[in-house]
Structure 1
Amino acid sequence: MQPLTRTERGSVTAAFGAVTVLGVLSMAAAGGAGLADPGPLSLAWALFGLLWLQRRFPLIGLGLGIATILALRVSHLTDTGWLWPATLLYVQAALVRGAPVIVSIAAVHALAAFNLDWTTLGHSARAAVASVGTDALWLCAAIAVTLSYRNWRRFQAESLQRLRTELDEQRTAERLRLAREVHDAVAHTLTVVGVHVNVAADALDSDPDEARAALRLAQDIRRRAMTDLSALVGVLRTGDGIAPPVAVPPLEDLVAGVRATGLDAALHVDGDPDAVPLPVLLVASAIVREALTNVVKHARAGHVAVEVHYGPSTSVRVTDDGPGAAAGPPGHGLTGLAERVAALGGTFSAGAGEGGFAVHAKIPA
């Protein structure tokens, strides 16, 4: 249960004390006692002070309150009730202690009150049951309401904690996804820019115009990538809330960037991407980007084909005709993609295909 602040506890205790004093004096007056009689007045202010003592010592305050009530009743100084004057002492104790302890104390209190009313005060068993039973029913209702409220507050606190935990997990997962996006974007951009820089370096002496064109293209690619990276890094730097959706890089731009390096790249897309959830679109784009990056860096291919089908089961396939990427185990990029696809319930494979290397994924919507 969410604990009350010091000010809130003080306000609650003051309200409880005021109600107890008014209740005891009112019931004493209704029974014919005067407001200045020492018994009711002593009981009222004693219970008021014990309510404040309960803030530090819940059970001690409750025990002293019970003893005070019983002693004043046996001494004939008051006849306001056996159990009910301690109602708010029970309520405060029940808010901080377990139900079995409070219920046990209440049962012992009721039995002691019945025994004193019957034996010490000399009332009949029937009269003792009527007197104590009425108080006991009232006290049972008060304790039941208090414990229900306590359980409701505890449920609220647990629900809030679960919600915070879920939000933290979502925030962490989102930041990891964005970190992968940054990694993929940087790797792809550096690879494509590197190819154009190499072209410019090779053509600098023999064909300055081609070298300048290659450098301008590299600059354009760098500028677009910096815009995307600034957005991603800005989201990563925010420490609160769930990151907003990130725009999906158009597949045409990814393929065009690779095609500009001189590689023959074909793209075939069918289906409606608007009907596909954003996480699937992002993973599909990341697969294409990572696969094209690997083709440019490692495959030594002359042709690469990208096929994407959007639908209830989105499929992505990237194949090339080069021998370079077929050697060695999958890198961190492909391994990360396999994990992301698996997290969405899909399947992922990467390995030697017909005359080259093939990356294939199928992701359910």
Structure 2
Amino acid sequence: MYCLVINSGSSSIKFQIVDPASAATDEPLASGLVEQIGEPSGAITVTINGEKSREELEIADHTVGLKRAFELLDANGVGPTQLEFFAVGHRVVHGGKLFSEPVLIDAQIESMIEDLIPLAPLHNPANLDGIRVAREILPDLPHVAVFDTAFFNHMPPAAALYAINNEVASEHDIRRYGFHGTSHEFVSQQVPKVLGRDPEHTRQITLHLGNGASAAAVHNGRAMDTSMGLTPLAGLVMGTRTGDIDPGIIFHLAREAKMSVDEIDTLLNKKSGVKGLAGVNDFRALREMIEQDNSDAWLAYNIYIHQLRRFIGAYMIILGRVDAISFTAGVGENDVEVRADALADLELYGIKIDPERNAQRSSDPRVISTDDSTVKVLVVPTNEELAIAQKAAVLTQA
């Protein structure tokens, strides 16, 4: 039996057909992307058993896009009318304080997700669109919401709360929620398996480094701290986001540059980070610029690494003892130099990367530290879709 996993964005829908019993590195049976929803020219790309096909058409809304995607799957024998699905799993970015576990979706849950839109105005509305469309098209299947913030819901109060007025924080639900939780949880569960350790006695730092980036401190399977906060803007330097900055910069820009709240929001979320410093946010392009001695690219890279090392150091102190540090997501899994530079000159702390192991390319989880490294360093490919399918299977007892 299979799970249909849906990740709905404002103008796109990603989906996969996943067997929850698959290995972490297995390819899904089918996957697809509906893009440019609401634009004059859209497209649907479907990949089945490694074979890719693409159809260009106008996609008026999410309903049109998802229905057509299902028709293409049906035409290839892997759609809802041919395969036996046990559930539809939905990625939902923000669960607020309400959701710390996956839930079966009904009208009340939809309403609760809608109530959380002020905390994630760019993400939850799109996630909700995907839920409503899929429930309409596939009404006889259980639909499961899996929340990005859930893994961090029970962090210690010292890590979760900000030092601002209690009444204001309580009234407006201000706290550190964290994001990429499905990825951090999945990777942190894989690490003990790779190392042959008891997960209940493993302290680790997980580094999800993609265009969005976050770090987490995980103590015996539980999140103790994370770099993102009320929103995904906080923490590490990212592709287009600033990461942590002095909040006074916002007031300064409003007063001195006469920028509006929306202009500052756009600046910090979409025009900053590596892109704001170097003009590109793809690390492959950044690497090419560095090799050409571009000073802006080199500065952007150094700021990125400096901030990453700050969080690694902080989490080493918070955990007290670190058994493993793992890299995941696009940059973490593929950029050899980022991994080496992030953990350079830390032999005193028992961290030693093996250059040959680090340079190897593989889709499998692997150790890249030396045999005598006290702290094991790993590359662990993330698989959020598989994680969502597995959580849906547990909830529906499939």
TM-score band, normalised by shorter chain:
under 0.3
**TM-score relative to the length of structure 2:** 0.21
More strand by share: 2
Task: With a CA cutoff of 8 Å and minimum separation of 6, indicate the structure with the bigger relative contact order.
Answer: 2
**What's the TM-score once normalised by structure 1's chain length?**
0.22
> Of Structure 1 and Structure 2, which has the larger fraction of its residues in helix?
1
Larger radius of gyration: 1
